[in-house]
Amino acid sequence: MSAGIVQAADTIKVGVLHSLSGTMAISETTLKDTVLMLVEEQNKKGGLLGKKLEPVVVDPASNWPLFAEKTKELLGKEKVDVIFGCWTSVSRKSVLPVIEEMNGLLFYPVQYEGEESSKNVFYTGAAPNQQAIPAVDYLMNEVGVKRWVLAGTDYVYPRTT
């Protein structure tokens, strides 16, 4: 057995798919740093299931089509076992077909608009029924607000919410 095969069997490869450049880097770089910190901490404790975690970081550069390409690279070329990534709904939606086609696993870290589910994605953030709707219910029932406006920027989450 070659050393490469032994090495691969002794590690769990963790893909990190967050923008390190472009407009979203200001938000996503901290998530990349957090994943790397958690990988380091887990490795100090002996890894996971007796295996060391090996991070593989790519930069989709705040470019939504590039998110899909980088996902193919992580799953195909790099053979990662799991991906932590995306910030915006449009980046998640661009990688979803790739994740499903290649049977990958994505941990999506922020709130999302709901109306989507996949056996290949852990949606770890709140959906509107957990965030916006309870806030509106509280304003109506506890504060007595009768009229309001939900304002948001022009992208998927605010439009759907």
Structural domains in the chain, CATH included, are 3-126 (3.40.50.2300)
Cα gap 62→22, rounded to integer Å: 5
Structure tokens at 121: 């994605």
Question: Phi and psi of 22, rounded to 5°?
Answer: 85, -175
Reply yes or no on whether the pLDDT at 158 is more than 50: yes
Picking from 122, 19, 116, 118, the residue whose alpha carbon sits closest to that of residue 67 is: 19
Q: Output the pLDDT for position 113.
A: 67
Rounded to whole angstroms, the Cα distance separating 18 from 23 reads 12
Give dist(CA 38, CA 45) in Å, integer.
11
Residue 2 confidence (pLDDT): 37
pLDDT in tens, 6-25: 445 789 999 999 999 999 99
Q: Which residues, 6+ apart, have CB-to-CB distance to 155 below 8 Å?
A: 88, 89, 90
- Residue 61: CB partners within 8 Å, gap ≥ 6? 19, 20, 21, 22
Residue of 16 and 145 predicted with greater confidence: 16
Closest CA to 85 of 53, 57, 63: 57
Mention every residue, 6+ apart, whose C-beta is less than 8 A from residue 90. Answer: 64, 155, 156
Q: Does residue 3 carry a pLDDT above 80?
A: no
Encode pLDDT of 62-102 as tens digits: 999 999 999 999 999 999 999 999 998 899 999 999 999 99
pLDDT bucket at 47, cuts 50 / 70 / 90: very high
